[in-house]
Amino acid sequence: MQSQSLSRNKPAGDTGSTSGAAPKVGFVSLGCPKALVDSEQILTQLRAEGYETAKSYDGADLVIVNTCGFIDAAVQESLDAIGEALAENGKVIVTGCLGAKKDASGDDIIMKVHPKVLAVTGPHALAEVMDSVHTHLPKPHEPFLDLIPAQGVKLTPKHYAYLKISEGCNHRCSFCIIPSMRGDLVSRPIADLMLEAENLFKSGVKELLVISQDTSAYGVDVKFRTGFWNGRPIKTHMTQLTEALGELAKSYGAWIRLHYVYPYPHVDQIIPMMGDGHILPYLDIPMQHAHPEVLKRMKRPASGEKNLDRIQAWRKMNPDLTIRSTFIAGFPGETEAEFEYLLDFLKEAQIDRLGCFAYSPVEGATANELANPVPEEVREERRGRVMLLQEEISRNRLKAKVGKTVRVLIDEINRTGGVGRTSADAPEIDGVVYVKPPFEPHKKLAVGQFVDVKITTSDAHDLWGEAQ
């Protein structure tokens, strides 16, 4: 989970200051990269209209909290953040997934816990959020449109950014309430995405992370209609979008990384595009389980696909392919045999990057009504077994990289050198490479720079190496 918060005590270190009189909005952003993109769009619009942003509660005239409502811990974190903003500032507008969530009696959760908030909207509600801002903190007289960078306001570091290609989801996985909060799939026009990508590259972005709820489904809602970019027809389809982004990335020497891809047959066409170093050989495929009966109970998309065969075929096409996935242990009704089937799958599949969660009953999810829920201690114990197995798999897979030279994008400079990531590492969720700088002082490492690194050491998560 990402979170950007306001400080209580820091003096108002404002960003984007345009004039002393402009109204100031504080922003707290919680949740996943999709929520982060919503936050960026709201911040961009605020800047476009001449509002300033404040870094502390007491420097803000009003605070917006973008919430997450996915699991119970995220709900609590969001409610706490709203409480803090109310206590520290008092004028609070709430948006995001938790805003769309009701309790068992159908009442709005946020209004029940925090009746003093000024307004509540669901996710992806830029227009409603701006309406509430206008009501409670009137727009500055002069808009400062020319002060807005073309790429908008970003919450990520300058050298990487998320590109949200669609909103919502047509699936109804039984453990998930996202469709009830974010609605059905709505794909963004391909020309808008290409323009946004180009502006981001022009602003210095070196890695673009494509996100959505279901990247493989891009364009389904508009029947893959043809759009136009630079006078050229491009279909609203995952393969054509990936191809076009790859070409654009190539002209800026940048990376494209694909997240939330379901293993539908057309993903096979993406793998050959991963050969030239711009569409990264990396697929984030949330599989959640391997046993067909559990997948059926989960109502997972592409559950009929033979994932193991697919992964093996992809690795034959591109041996450098990194696969990241998430799994749930202890889903309702999961028997010991079904769980062991998952372990066997993981041994065979050799997933490079893996997250495993013990099943958590999210309020409103239909999976909670399934028979034979697994006791909490068994869920946790199974999660532990998956992570133990994965640690060994990951350790061995990373060990195989020792001695190789890999391309690294530097994220951070510290006292001992740099910290960066390879094509196998997405920011925030995967491992990192600790890079020893070159001896020559004129070859200093810099954030956002690509550097070739010879790998010397590894553990179960990270790599260490020397810049070449």
Contacts to ligand SF4 by CB under 6 A: 169, 171-173, 176, 178-179, 213-214, 301
DSSP calls for 232-262: EEEESSHHHHHHHHHHHHHHHT-EEEE-S--
Assigned token pair, 218? 């891009």
Q: How far is the CB of 300 from ligand SF4 (least distance, A)?
A: 7
The distance of closest approach from Cβ of residue 25 to ligand SF4 in the complex, given in angstroms and rounded to an integer, is 30
In the bound state with ligand SF4, the residue whose beta carbon lies nearer, of 89 and 187, is 187
CB of 235 to ligand SF4, least distance (A): 22
172 or 266, CB closer to ligand SF4?
172
CA distance 408 to 430: 14
Contact, 332 vs 367, CB < 8 A?
yes
Token pair in block for residue 459: 């553990």
CB of 169 to ligand SF4, least distance (A): 3
Q: Report the C-alpha gap between 195 and 204 in whole angstroms.
A: 15
* 32 labeled part of a ligand binding site: yes
* Residue type at 429 in one-letter notation: I
316 Cβ neighbours under 8 A, 6+ residues apart: none
Cα distance between residue 24 and residue 54, in whole Å: 6
Cα gap 175→358, rounded to integer Å? 12
Per DSSP, helices labelled H in 269-360 are 292-298, 307-317, 336-349
Q: Which is nearer to ligand SF4, 172 or 202 (CB)?
A: 172
Q: In terms of CB distance, is 111 or 186 closer to ligand SF4?
A: 186
Residue closer to ligand SF4, measured from CB, 301 or 373: 301
Our CB check for ligand SF4 shows the closer of 173 and 245 to be 173
- Other beta carbons less than 10 A from residue 452's beta carbon: 12
Tokens matching residue 127: 């227009």
Question: Nearest approach, Cβ of 260 to ligand SF4 (angstroms)?
Answer: 7
| Amino acid (one-letter) located at 244 | A
Q: Is 356 annotated as a binding residue?
A: no
Is 131 in contact with 21 (CB distance < 8 Å)?
no
- Please report how close the Cβ of residue 213 comes to ligand SF4 at its closest, in angstroms: 4
Structural tokens at position 296: 């059926």
- Residue 169 or 358: the one with the smaller Cβ distance to ligand SF4 is 169
Query: CB 294 → ligand SF4: shortest distance, Å?
Result: 14
Residue given tokens 């404040």 in the structure block = 54
| Alpha-carbon distance values, 288 to 281, 301, 326, 358, 415 (Å) | 21, 11, 5, 11, 39
- Look up tokens 């946004």; give the residue: 196
Q: Which is nearer to ligand SF4, 296 or 316 (CB)?
A: 296
CA distance readout (Å), 206 to 141, 191, 281: 37, 20, 16
Q: Are 65 and 37 in contact (CB under 8 A)?
A: no
Nearer to ligand SF4, 165 or 173 (CB): 173
Minimum CB separation of residue 424 from ligand SF4 in Å reads 23
173 known ligand binder: yes
Q: Which is nearer to ligand SF4, 53 or 212 (CB)?
A: 212
Cβ(52)–Cβ(25) below 8 Å: yes
Number of H helices, E strands in the chain: 11, 21
Nearest distance from C-beta of residue 212 to ligand SF4, angstroms: 9
Tell me whether residue 97 is annotated as binding: yes
Q: Which two tokens stand for residue 177?
A: 């309430």
DSSP secondary structure, 139-154, as one string: PPSS--GGGS-TT---
- Residues of each annotated binding site for [4Fe-4S] cluster: 32, 68, 97, 169, 173, 176
Annotated binding site: 32, 68, 97, 169, 173, 176
